C-alpha cells in the first residue's frame, strides 16, 4: 500500500517527468510533433534547451520554489501570511536565477513581470488580471503539504497562485489543483479526488472554471484525441488544468501513456504534461514513473527531498 510519502514523491517526480517530456515540443504544432517524432508523437524524454534528456522547465523550477517556501513556512507555524511571504521570497529567488542562460527555461511573462516588482498580489488586491497557466502548474506542492485537507489546500492554492496571477480563472485553478493533489496524497482515488475538487469549485462558482468542470463529465474510451484537441491549448489556467485532468482520466493506471497523451498537442505541452504527471504520480506512486526517466531527471534528488519534507 502506498504511503503519503510515496504519493508525495510520485507527485513531484511525476510532475517533473511530464514537464520534461513536454519540454522539447512546447512551442511546435501537433503536425510538427508527428513529423519529427513519428505517428505517435513524442514518446520518450528528449534534449531541450541544449541540455540532455531529463531537463526540466520553469514549471518544475517554480514548483520546487513553492515547495521550499512551504517547508520554511511550516517552521513558522504555517499561517497564511507566513506561507505567502515564504513562497513569495522563494519565487523571487527563482526569478533571480533566470538571468543565467543555463537556468532560463522559457519562463512565462506574467510570472517574470510580477516577480520583478516588490509587491505580491493578494486576493483582495491582485497585481493583474492574468489567467495564464503559470498559476496552476506550480501548486501541486501545496496539495502535498496539506494532504488530507482539501479545503485548506484549495484556499492556500489560491493564495499561492494570486502572488503573481490575478485573474479569477488562474486563482481558482490553482486552488482546484492543490485540492485534488491533497485528496490523492491522502489515498483517495482519482474519481474521489475529482468529486471533492468539483464541490470546491462549485462553491466559488463553476463558471469560474467552465472548461475544467465540463471535462469532468467528458466520456473516456472513445474519441479521446478529438476531445483533447477540443479542450484547448493549455496556455490558460482553465484549459491547462482541464487537459491535465482529462489525460489522467483517460489513463488512470498508466503514467507513461497519460503524460504522452498530455503533451502531444499544439500548445503548452510542458505545463499540461506536468499537471497530468503530478496527478498520476500522486495516484500511482513513484514506481509508475519509468526508471530510466527517474534516473535522468534533472534535480531528482532535490525533488525527492522536498517531497519528503512537505509531508505533514
Where in the sequence is the domain holding 229, given as residue range(s)? 4-98+130-310
pLDDT in tens, 121-154: 999 999 999 999 999 999 999 999 999 999 999 9
Segment 275-286 shows an average pLDDT of 98
Q: Assess if residue 107 is contained within a domain.
A: no
Q: Given this model, what pLDDT does residue 206 score? A: 67
pLDDT in tens, 148-206: 999 999 999 999 999 999 999 999 999 999 999 999 999 999 999 999 999 999 998 76
| pLDDT higher than 90, residue 214 | yes
Segment 57-71 shows an average pLDDT of 98
Segment 92-98 shows an average pLDDT of 98
Whole-prediction pTM: 0.98
Q: Assess if residue 117 is contained within a domain.
A: no
Q: Assess if residue 194 is contained within a domain.
A: yes
Q: Given this model, what pLDDT does residue 82 score? A: 97
Map residue 8 onto helix, strand or coil. helix
Q: Assess if residue 108 is contained within a domain.
A: no
Q: Assess if residue 111 is contained within a domain.
A: no
Q: Assess if residue 179 is contained within a domain.
A: yes
Q: Report the number of distinct structural domains present in the chain.
A: 1
| pLDDT higher than 90, residue 85 | yes
- Whether residue 306 contacts residue 12, with contact meaning beta carbons closer than 8 Å, is answered with yes
pLDDT bin (cut points 50, 70, 90) of residue 76 is confident
Q: Assess if residue 303 is contained within a domain.
A: yes
Q: Given this model, what pLDDT does residue 143 score? A: 98
Q: Given this model, what pLDDT does residue 190 score? A: 98
The pLDDT > 70 percentage for the chain reads 100
Q: Assess if residue 155 is contained within a domain.
A: yes
Q: Given this model, what pLDDT does residue 4 score? A: 98
Segment 199-214 shows an average pLDDT of 90
> What CATH number is associated with residue 301?
1.10.4080.10
Segment 285-306 shows an average pLDDT of 98
What are the cell numbers at 67? 515547495
pLDDT in tens, 222-271: 889 999 999 999 999 999 999 999 999 999 999 999 999 999 999 999 99
3-class SS letters over the chain: CCCHHHHHHHHHHHHHHHHHHHHCCCCCCHHHHHHHHCCCCCCCCCCECCECCCCCCHHHHHHHHHHHHHHHHHHCCCCHHHHHHHHHHHHHHHHHHCCCCCCCCCCCHHHHHHHCCCCCCCCCCCCCCCCEHHHCCCCHHHHHHCCCCHHHHHHHHHHHHHCCCCCHHHHHHHHHHHHHHHHHHCCCCHHHHHHHHHHHHHHHCHHHCHHHHHHCCCCCCCCHHHHHHHHCCCCEHHHHHHHHHHHHHHCCCCHHHHHHHHHCCCCCHHHHHHHHHHHHHHHHCHHHCCHHHHHHCCCHHHHHHHHHHHCC
| pLDDT higher than 70, residue 110 | yes
Q: In the predicted model, what is the mean pLDDT of the chain?
A: 97
Segment 42-67 shows an average pLDDT of 98
Amino acid at each position: 500500500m502506498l504511503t503519503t510519502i510515496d504519493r508525495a514523491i510520485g507527485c513531484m517526480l511525476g510532475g517533473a517527468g511530464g514537464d520534461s517530456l513536454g519540454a522539447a515540443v512546447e512551442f511546435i504544432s501537433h503536425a510538427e510533433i508527428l513529423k519529427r517524432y513519428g505517428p505517435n508523437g513524442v514518446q520518450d524524454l528528449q534534449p531541450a534547451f541544449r541540455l540532455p534528456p531529463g531537463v526540466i522547465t520553469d514549471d518544475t523550477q517554480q514548483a520546487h520554489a513553492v515547495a521550499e517556501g512551504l517547508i520554511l513556512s511550516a517552521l513558522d507555524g504555517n499561517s497564511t501570511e507566513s506561507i505567502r511571504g515564504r513562497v513569495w521570497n522563494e519565487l523571487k529567488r527563482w526569478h533571480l536565477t533566470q538571468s543565467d542562460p543555463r537556468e532560463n527555461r522559457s519562463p512565462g511573462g506574467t510570472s517574470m513581470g510580477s516577480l520583478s516588482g516588490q509587491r505580491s498580489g493578494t486576493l483582495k488586491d491582485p497585481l493583474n488580471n492574468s489567467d495564464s497557466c503559470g498559476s496552476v502548474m506550480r501548486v501541486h506542492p501545496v496539495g502535498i503539504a496539506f494532504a488530507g485537507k482539501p479545503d485548506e489546500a484549495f484556499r492556500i492554492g489560491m493564495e499561492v497562485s494570486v502572488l503573481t496571477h490575478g485573474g479569477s480563472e488562474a486563482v481558482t485553478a490553482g486552488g482546484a489543483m492543490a485540492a485534488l493533489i491533497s485528496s490523492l496524497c491522502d489515498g483517495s482515488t482519482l474519481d474521489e479526488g475529482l468529486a471533492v475538487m468539483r464541490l470546491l469549485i462549485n462553491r466559488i462558482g463553476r463558471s469560474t472554471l467552465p472548461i475544467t468542470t465540463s471535462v469532468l463529465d467528458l466520456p473516456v474510451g472513445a474519441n479521446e484525441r478529438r476531445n483533447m484537441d477540443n479542450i484547448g491549448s493549455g496556455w490558460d489556467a482553465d484549459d491547462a488544468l482541464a487537459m491535465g485532468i482529462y489525460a489522467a482520466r483517460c489513463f488512470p493506471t498508466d503514467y507513461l501513456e497519460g503524460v504522452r497523451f498530455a503533451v502531444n498537442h499544439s500548445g503548452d505541452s510542458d505545463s499540461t504534461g506536468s499537471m497530468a504527471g503530478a496527478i498520476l504520480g500522486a495516484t500511482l506512486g513513484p514506481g509508475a514513473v519509468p526508471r530510466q526517466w527517474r534516473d535522468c531527471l534533472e534535480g531528482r534528488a532535490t525533488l525527492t527531498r522536498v517531497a519528503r519534507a512537505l509531508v505533514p
